Every structure is written in structure tokens, then in C-alpha cells.
């Protein structure tokens, strides 16, 4: 990866902007309000257009229609937000730490190691694990027996991969994630819970990002599957035998019960609860705090629950909600009375 600073001309080439001839140096990224003369900024939404006139950034990513609004150097791109996302990779501070294996790491002699690895202190790599070239594993992480990790995947500190988990190439696994723990499987025998040992594993595709504290359970028989390009936020629970399609994005604190099948290119907002053994169609969007209790077979936008309102109003609405059964019964009675009085009368 290249490292900052960059000239504006270099950034224009790297971010696929219209060519600019400028040796002005850019050392970071800032907002339109906070960026300095050696920082890059961007205009994503027209609601912030008024900030361009006072922006002091050394260069600003804009669409063509806003080039004349920039007081400094305009970098004209098709989509400023996408260009900004790509620019963060240039300035994110993930500088190469140098490949090497800490002498404090414990690596099984039967593990297969690729080239150019970075393995931190106290990492444990168990028997039969296969680690691809260019992989980084942070301190105190545990890689279970027969795990497979694809090339250029980055695992942060304190991550646990249980046995036989498979990660694709170019994944990012953040601290505290646990992949491959037992799914929640028990059989009730006259009040006694008998554990169902989870005999499947977890398969994670390429270019997947899994947030801090997220847990992905191993399958009971078949594997739990996370498709290519999936992004999972922090503190998500993925139950056993769940299947998440390619390029789906799921926000924090969502819980997905076992054997749910989520399609490709879905977006699931924070705090959503998804019941087990259901299907969600490709391209579905689910808003925050929704409870998904049945399958969604056609894509769309789905919501449930009540939104915030002043407390006194909420209390009145709760009372009315509790009266709905009685109100429904009374309406039906009134309908029957009207029907009896109108039957047989001329129209």
C-alpha cells in the first residue's frame, strides 16, 4: 500500500478523478468544516454545499456540477463518497509493521504457514491450521485446529477461531470476535437438557469484515455460511446454520437465530431480531429494531415496533393498545346490530 503524503495530482490518479496538475501535498482527510490546507475533504450531499465557500481543504472531492463552488482545488469524480472511501485506505494509518513471527507465538509444527506473515505475541496456532501468505494475526488470538485462513486476511488481537473454521482471502476480523463456537442446540428430555454437539463449522467468504465482539456459531450438521463481501458490524450474534448472502450489510446488535437464510445485497439496520428457519429475499432492507418473525419472499423495506414519542403520549397509546381487543369486539357487535336492522329492508 502507498503511504501519505500525496500530491493532488497523485490523488487524482489514484481516486479516478479528472486529471489535475498540482504538487500541493495532502497528508490526511477532514470534514468540510475542519479540513486544513494539507487535508482532503469531500461533498457527498447537497445539504452541505454551503460549507464549500468557507472550506480550507487543500482539495475537495466533488461532482462536476459543484466544481465551481470549490474555493481551492476541485477533484471531480463520479461519486465523491466512493472516492472518499477509497481515499481512507491511503490515509488509514495501517502502515506495514514488517512481516515476522513473534518468538512468543505458539505455532504447531503441523501448521502450514504462507509467506510474509505477521503474527503477534501469544498467538496460538493449533495442529493442521493453514495460514495463507500476507496474513496478519494480532496478539493473543487463537487459531484452532485445521482452520484455513486465506491470503491477506487481517485478524486483530484477541480473536478466537474454533476448530475447522475457514476464512476467505482479504477478510478483516476485529478484536473480540469469536467464530465457530457451539450453536445453541439442546434437546429437552423430561426437563433435562441434553447437549446437541455441533458437528458443522463456519465458512466465511472473501472480503468479509466482521466487527468487534461479533459471534458466529458453528453449524449443527451443515456449516454456517457467510458469503463474499458481507460486512458485519460490532456485537452481532449469528446463530448456527445461518446463511448470509453475498454483499449483505448488517448493523450492530442484530441477532439472527439458527437456520435463517438471508439473501444477497440486503441491508439490515441495528438491533434487528431475526427468527430462525426463515428466508429473507435478496435486496431486502430492514429498518432498526424490527422483529422479523416470518419469511420475506419479495424485496422491499420492512419495519416493526413503535417509534419514540413523548412519555405521556406513549402511556396513553399503551392504554389504547390494551383496549384494542375490547374495541374490536364492540365494533363487531355494532356491525351485527346494523346488519340485523337493515336485512330485508328495501334499498
Q: Which tens digits make up the pLDDT trace of 291-316? A: 999 999 999 999 998 888 999 999 99
Q: Are residue 185 and residue 79 in the same domain, yes or no? A: no
pLDDT at 277 over 60: yes
Q: Are residue 189 and residue 218 in the same domain, yes or no? A: yes
pLDDT at 4 over 80: no
Residue 123 lies in a domain: no
Question: Could you list the residue range(s) of the whole structural domain that residue 295 is in?
Answer: 159-302
Q: Are residue 260 and residue 328 in the same domain, yes or no? A: no
The rounded Cα 40 to chain-centroid distance in angstroms is 26
| 3-state secondary structure (DSSP) of residue 232 | strand
Average pLDDT of the residues of the chain: 94
Number of folded domains in the chain?
3
Q: Which tens digits make up the pLDDT trace of 315-326? A: 999 999 899 999
User: Phi first, then psi: what are they for 211, rounded to 5°?
Assistant: -75, 170
Residue 193 lies in a domain: yes
Catalytically annotated residues: 240
For position 306, what pLDDT does the model report? Answer: 82
* Average confidence (pLDDT) over 106-113: 98
First to last CA, the chain: 83
Residue 5: cis peptide before it, omega within 30 degrees of 0: yes
- CA angle at 242 for the pair 240 and 246, rounded to the nearest 5°: 145
Angle between helices 311-322 and 324-342 (to 10 degrees): 50
What's 284's domain CATH number?
2.160.10.10
DSSP 296: B
* Average confidence (pLDDT) over 84-113: 86
Q: How confident is the model at residue 97 (pLDDT cuts 50, 70, 90)?
A: low
Q: Are residue 167 and residue 264 in the same domain, yes or no? A: yes
pLDDT at 330 over 80: yes
Q: How confident is the model at residue 95 (pLDDT cuts 50, 70, 90)?
A: very low
For position 94, what pLDDT does the model report? Answer: 56
- Decide: pTM greater than 0.85: yes
The DSSP result for 128-162, as a single string, is T-EE-TT-EE-TT-EE-TT-EE-TT-EE-TT-EE-
Residue 142 lies in a domain: no
Longest dimension (CA), the chain: 98
Amino acid at each position: 500500500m502507498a503511504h501519505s503524503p500525496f500530491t493532488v495530482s497523485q490523488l487524482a490518479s489514484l481516486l479516478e478523478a479528472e486529471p489535475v496538475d498540482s504538487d500541493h501535498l495532502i497528508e490526511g482527510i477532514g470534514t468540510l468544516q475542519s479540513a486544513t490546507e494539507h487535508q482532503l475533504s469531500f461533498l457527498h450531499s447537497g445539504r452541505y454545499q454551503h460549507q464549500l465557500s468557507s472550506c480550507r481543504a487543500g482539495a475537495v472531492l466533488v461532482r462536476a456540477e459543484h466544481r465551481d463552488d470549490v474555493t481551492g482545488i476541485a477533484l471531480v469524480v463520479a461519486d465523491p463518497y466512493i472516492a472518499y472511501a477509497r481515499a481512507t485506505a491511503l490515509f488509514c494509518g495501517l502502515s506495514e509493521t514488517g512481516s515476522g513471527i513473534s518468538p512468543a507465538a505458539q505455532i504447531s509444527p503441523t501448521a502450514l504457514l504462507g509467506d510474509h506473515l505477521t503474527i503477534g505475541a501469544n498467538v496460538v496456532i493449533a495442529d493442521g491450521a493453514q495460514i495463507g501468505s500476507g496474513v496478519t494475526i494480532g496478539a493473543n488470538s487463537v487459531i484452532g485446529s485445521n482452520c484455513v485462513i486465506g491470503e491477506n486476511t487481517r485478524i486483530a488481537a484477541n480473536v478466537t477461531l474454533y476448530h475447522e473454521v475457514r476464512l476467505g482471502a482479504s477478510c478483516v476480523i476485529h478484536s473480540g470476535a469469536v467464530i465457530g463456537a457451539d450453536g445453541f442446540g439442546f434437546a429437552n428430555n423430561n426437563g433435562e437438557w441434553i447437549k446437541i454437539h455441533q458437528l458443522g463449522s463456519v465458512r466465511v467468504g472473501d472480503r468479509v469484515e466482521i466487527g468487534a465482539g461479533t459471534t458466529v456459531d458453528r453449524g449443527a450438521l451443515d456449516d454456517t455460511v457467510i458469503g463474499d463481501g458481507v460486512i458485519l458490524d460490532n456485537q452481532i450474534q449469528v446463530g448456527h446454520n445461518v446463511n448470509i448472502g453475498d454483499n449483505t450489510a448488517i448493523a450492530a446488535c442484530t441477532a439472527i437465530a439458527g437456520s435463517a437464510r438471508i439473501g444477497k445485497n440486503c441491508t439490515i439496520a441495528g438491533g434487528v431480531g431475526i427468527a430462525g428457519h426463515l428466508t429473507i429475499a435478496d435486496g431486502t432492507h430492514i429498518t432498526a429494531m424490527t422483529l422479523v418473525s416470518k419469511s420475506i419472499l419479495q424485496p422491499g423495506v420492512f419495519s416493526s415496533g413503535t417509534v419514540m414519542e413523548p412519555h405521556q403520549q406513549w402511556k396513553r397509546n399503551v392504554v389504547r393498545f390494551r383496549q384494542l381487543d375490547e374495541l374490536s369486539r364492540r365494533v363487531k357487535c355494532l356491525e351485527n346490530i346494523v346488519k340485523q336492522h337493515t336485512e330485508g329492508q328495501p334499498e
